[in-house]
Amino acid sequence: MTSSLPQVSLEEIREEVADLETPEERIGYLIELGQTLPDLPAEYQTEEHRVLGCQSMVWVVPELHDEILTFRGTSDAPMVRGLVAILISVYSGRSPREILEFPIEALFEELRLKSFLTPMRSNGLYSMVQRIQAIARAAVTASGETIPQPKPSEPSARSTPPTISIEGCREDFPILSQHIGDDRPLIYLDNAASSQRPTSVIDCLAAVFQTHYANVHRSGHDLAVATTVAMEAARESLRGFVGAQSADEIIFTSGTTASINLVARAWGDANLKPGDEILLTEMEHHSNIVPWQQLAARTGAIVRWLPVRDDFLLDLDALGKLLSPRTRLVSITAVSNVLGTINPVRQIVDAGHRVGASVLVDAAQAVPHGSIHAAEWDADWIVFSGHKMLGPTGIGALYGKRDVLEAMPPFLGGGNMIRSVSKAGFSPADLPHRFEAGTAPIAEAIAMKPAVEYLQRVGSRFILEHERKLADRAMKGLRGIRGLKILGPDIEAKTGIVSFVVDRIHPDQIGQYLNAMGIAIRIGHHCAMPLHERFGLSASARASFYLYNTVAEVDTFVDAVARAVAVGK
């Protein structure tokens, strides 16, 4: 293919658009502009060059010569050909680094493209931009240069002023107003297992099914457009919530467990070999243990354990002794689901990176408080679930650094995760879709947006402060019960999780008594058997507080535990 610079320059486009007043005039200009594109030979109109995510058929063909990229392209839709012409005028004749650094959003604002493009056309435009940028990133990587990284945005959970008070939020959760059993008001203290949902999330789920449900990233009809736009808006909401650089770094999964298994299969199978080491901690949830044990069994790798001290904190003095050049992966929880311990994530991430290890952070117990930030932690992957942060069940996310995700082969194969398929094989789609095979939990993904917005409106600092106030009150009350031992560090080092055991009384007995009183807590090993074994226990009782719990509920809980112990003895 012989490359050529665009027929119409970017400056000419700017001048023309500046004189156009109405959307109709701009659409007419795009159609005229599209006619200036040179014909693209049929041999280039293939799946290899097709841009996914566009309502119409779009092809973009690059050529790299003397470290300069030029592009040719076309579409079967006249107006979209005009959009292709704009992007070719923007990007052709630039180096890959210049392409990645070009302020494309500012140009779109200047040309007022968003003012008249339909949502699906707008999505298609961004799909074209992402395809061209992916080509540029590949060229930079092939040259051995460092890919320029935009400054990450601050997570919205920290920057949005609180507009919902802790004192007033309880009314937003319908389930909390009910009475159960012997007409006792429900006291829900099992939030570490799963939170309840506010009306905004419940209404969002209903609205999807009642007003615009359709499959996403496929059809071009109005319902599909509306649903696709809503799902991608939810992805963008999560991007801001965790402080990721791009929405492409947010992969929708069914939850924390699925996210960890995705990394174990897609990255672990391709990178670990016999003798490599995986470092976990003794306080991990089974979801952050079993996938790595399975990986070790498949590859011959070895799992090592960072101990938990008697004060319920990680033994960081042992970290340096356990890490070595053989350590290929460190996988840790940000917050213990049993102890409530808040771990020094960045310190552990830095230590792992110093020996060349990749690091995954299980943020399932951190994300309910909005207390995660991808840039501050610098982890290679962060995983979490929606159902612990006011969102629906069956939905979660995997955040990964772009270069890490792009180097990982797809784990699940099927629809939506491919660029092309032939009898000879397939090529995977770009991020994030290469890891989202099949039909997604669409409504659940969309409802993550109001869940995030609710947490933002309350404010992460206020949520954690409220939890700690309740947990501190609970611990002070429980310490007055003879034979009761609290599992966890001092309040300054933990979230609102209070686990405990009582001499000669099984936790199940306490849990059943509290259930009869209308109080929901968790009993058992909480999917953390190695941690219970570390402290010589088979089970414990756990109360976990959240933003909608009250001081009165804490007092009722402490009194009920005291009664349960008295009855048990």
> Which tokens hold the place of 336?
């213990």
Angle at 91 between CA 90 and CA 95, to 5 degrees: 135
Dihedral angle sign, alpha carbons of residues 370, 344, 396, 154? positive
> Which tokens hold the place of 416?
């939506």
Question: How far, CA to CA in Å, does 4 sit from each of 7, 42, 46, 95?
Answer: 8, 17, 20, 15
Three-state helix/strand/coil letters over 330-374: EEEECECCCCCEECCHHHHHHHHHHCCCEEEEECCCCHHHCCCCH
| Cβ contact 481:565 at 8 Å | yes
Cα–Cα distance for residue pair 472/189, rounded to 1 Å: 15
Active site residue 527: yes
Question: How far, CA to CA in Å, does 141 sit from each of 63, 146, 375, 439?
Answer: 16, 7, 21, 32
| Cβ contact 545:470 at 8 Å | yes
Cα–Cα distance for residue pair 314/342, rounded to 1 Å: 10
Dihedral angle sign, alpha carbons of residues 263, 265, 270, 272? positive
> Which tokens hold the place of 512?
């059943």
> Which tokens hold the place of 318?
């042992």
Bridge partner residues of 523 (DSSP): 541
Coil, helix or strand for 548? coil
Half-sphere exposure of 69 (CA within 13 A, CB side): 25
Cα–Cα distance for residue pair 103/124, rounded to 1 Å: 18
* 491-527 burial: b if 16+ Cβ within 10 Å, else e: bebbbbbbbbbbeebebebbbebbeebbbbbbbbbbb
DSSP per-residue letters across 150-207: PPPPPPHHHHSPP-S-TTTGGGG-GGGG-EETTTEEPEE-BTTT-----HHHHHHHHH
Residue type, 99: I
Give catalytic residues, as residue numbers. Answer: 527
